[in-house]
Each structure stands twice: as structure tokens, then as C-alpha cells.
Amino acid sequence: MAEELPVGCARPTGGPVGEPVEEIAKEATKLKKEEGQMIHVGEKAPDFVAPGYQKGKFISVKLSDYLGKWVLLCFYPGDFTFV
Amino acid sequence: MSIDSMFVHKMWDDHELAKMVDGGVPFPMLSDAGGKVGKLFGVFNEGAGVENRGRFIIDPDGVIQGYEVLTPPVGRNVQETLRQVQAFQLVRKTKGAEATPSGWRPGKLTLKPGPDLVGNVWKEWKTSMAFD
């Protein structure tokens, strides 16, 4: 499900999947006030890939790889804070 | 998911979380440098440059069934999140034949939406059932 990442000195980043990234970035700054309205219950979650860490391994996770399973996606302000 | 790098996630897991959870965190800790994914989900806090406490329940079809977003100082109720997941799973299993009224948790009464229920919820569901 999660693909293991080779460890290097560069810091990997992820981002949206399936749509032109620049378009979204532009849209996001342009419609800053409407950002919260981009997400609706009952609609598909936007797909993304993100690097991560799980049980001793650096991995890359794509949300759509989890189709067929329930997913709980949690955002939090930062490591070493509570959740 | 936070804006921290996967390296910082490892440090946090190794040095603190492993002391709270045996073997460390079992699920993926994701990195969102720059908040690109957070912006996509509308939870990136532009002022502070961090993610707000957003929580999304996504079903097996990839559809968002529920979400909650809190500003950083207040933590979440994990029990309530589990309750919501259990409720959405039950609704999905019954293909919508059963619905979970206010205060539902596993084992408590569900409602069967339909013409017979209209105007008759009061016979089956009491306000005390909204509370534990």
C-alpha cells in the first residue's frame, strides 16, 4: 500500500495528484476566502501523495491506494504537540 | 499529517510517542511541507503557517463522509471520531436501510427511515437517548 522511499539528504515533498498543481496553487491564492468551501461531505476527497514515516521506514503514501478501506485523515499543527 | 518532515516524525516517534504507545505509532505519519495538501483540504492556517486540527472520515469509495476542523489549542475527542466511523460503517453495511439517531453508539437503537417513521420518531426515540 505504502511504497518505501530511498533515504537521501533531500527532503521529499508530496502534493495533489491528478490535476495540474499550478492551477490549484493559483486558484488557492485567488480564492483564499473560499478555500474552506472546496471540501464538501458526500463528495470525493482530493487525491494526493505525501512522504511519511511508519514503523522504522520512510514511505510514500497515495490516498487513492486506500480505496476499498476506511481512511481517517488527521492534520495537526506540529510534532511534539498533542493531537 | 503535519508540515514537519518525515525525519522529524521519526524523531518524535522514537523519542516521545514510543513512550506512550508500545512500539510507536502504527499508522503512517505523513509530511506536508509547505501545506500543499492542507490547502487542498482547507485546513492550512496561513497566519501561523501550520495545519489546523482537521479530521476527515473517508469511506471505501474515497468519499468524505464527515469532517471536523479545530484551531490548534483544542484537542480532539478520539472516542467521538470512532463513534462516527462505526455509525457510517453501519449505515453503509445496511445500504442506508438503518440510520443512527443522535446519541447512537454501537448496540443502541437505530431507525429505519421510511413513510412509517414520519411523525413517529417520538415513539421509538426518547430525548434521554441523546445522552449517555
Which helix (H) or strand (E) segment is B39 a member of? helix B36-40
Which helix (H) or strand (E) segment is B81 a member of? helix B78-93
Residue A39 distance to chain B (closest CA, Å): 6
Which residue in chain B is spatially nearest to A67 when comparing CA positions? B60
Interface subset of B 100-129, CB within 8 angstroms of A = none
The Cα-based distances of A25 to A21, A61, B35, B40 in angstroms read 6, 21, 11, 9
Tens digits of residue pLDDT in B60-77: 999 999 999 999 999 999
Which residue in chain B is spatially nearest to A48 when comparing CA positions? B37
Tens digits of residue pLDDT in A15-31: 888 866 555 555 555 55
Strand partners, A74: B55
Tens digits of residue pLDDT in A20-65: 655 555 555 555 554 445 799 999 999 999 999 999 999 999 999 9
- Domain ranges (residues) in chain B: 1-31, 42-75, 77-132
Let me know if B34 is exposed, middle or buried by CB neighbors in 10 A (0-12, 13-18, 19+): middle
Residue B123 distance to chain A (closest CA, Å): 30
